[in-house]
Structure 1
Amino acid sequence: MTIKAYLYDKCGTCRKAKQWLQQNGVSFEEILIVDAPPAADELHSMWRASGLPLNKFFNTSGQFYRELGLKDKLPAMSEDEMLKLLASNGKLIKRPLVSDGQTVTVGFKEDEYEKAWGNR
């Protein structure tokens, strides 16, 4: 399956991740996360494949996260509500978000990228 990299062009971490993928010869489809965030069902699949808690998919340092008061609201929300909220605004999603359908990375840490996307 094609590797999809959800990136935001104004995000320094996204630029680092994109550069790492390119330098390591990883072929990927770049998707602008703000213009085309993944749908709730796709996020659900990525979340399940990642093995991470769903709250790790939220960009907790983002403006919209703070404006919506999500720090206090998330614990009371259902998984479906959280997934719909994430799908509604790409800026709420922690980025970069990279997935091939089975492997998923959220954020950028070089050692995690090497483990997940190295030798591809």
Structure 2
Amino acid sequence: MRNREKLQKSKNPIKTFQELASKESLAPTKDKNGYLGQFYYENMPTELKQALKELKRGDYSKPFKTDFGYQIIYVMGYQDEVKRAYKESQINVKEDYIKETVINWAFEEISKLKEEAKIKIVFKG
């Protein structure tokens, strides 16, 4: 039975995909059980864009050729632009808030230390 057929008949397609990818893939993603991660559609190689064109969540691509050999893709899901932009903004705002909070705290602590400091200048000449 071919790998694509194994995937289509599997009761747990994600697990089957991971097992096949880790055993048979030659791509760099082999060590991550075939997981490509999340990325923007605009940043995808042309072959990948073409393979994903008609696929929906839970679909497998037909085998297609890339610089790494032949690939089969399982689509775990898509994230629309609005949600992505909101989530990225949320993360950026949180990071900026944390940085500003830490900087403000540090300057307050420095000011307190300066006020409490007893400085004695000793000059030996």
For normalisation by structure 1, the TM-score amounts to 0.30
Larger relative contact order (C-alpha < 8 A, sep ≥ 6)?
Answer: 1
For normalisation by structure 2, the TM-score amounts to 0.29
Larger Rg computed on CA atoms: 2
Structure showing the higher helix proportion among its residues: 2
